[in-house]
Amino acid sequence: MRGHVISYLSHRRKKFQTEFETLHHSLLTAQKEHMNSRDDNSYQTFTTAKPLLNTFVHTHAHWQTQLTKNKFYRWENKTGL
């Protein structure tokens, strides 16, 4: 059972990391393209890439916050358990 949990968590972490890197790379590419060309198409690409990355990171941070909150609730707000 322990091996399955470790495998699942490492797979989930790698999936998050690759998706984050993909979104971050697309944002940087769109930003560089917009700075070089300054046309409407590059601006549209940049403004769609930025909220995608923001939503992705915010969702992950919200999930981590809820996990910590649940842990403190279960252990009666005692740290170090």
Residue 59 and residue 52: Cα distance in Å, rounded? Answer: 11
Round to whole Å and give the CA distance between 72 and 81. 9
Which pTM value belongs to this model? 0.76
Pull the structure tokens for residue 13.
Answer: 């972490």
Beta carbons of 26 and 70 less than 8 angstroms apart? no
Assess whether pLDDT exceeds 60 at residue 81: no
Encode burial over 41-69: b for 16+ CB neighbours within 10 A, e otherwise. Answer: ebeebbeebeeebeebeeeeeeeeeeeee
Task: Specify whether the CB–CB gap between 35 and 45 falls below 8 A.
Answer: no
Residues 28-75 have pLDDT tens digits of 999 999 999 989 999 999 999 999 999 999 999 998 888 888 877 777
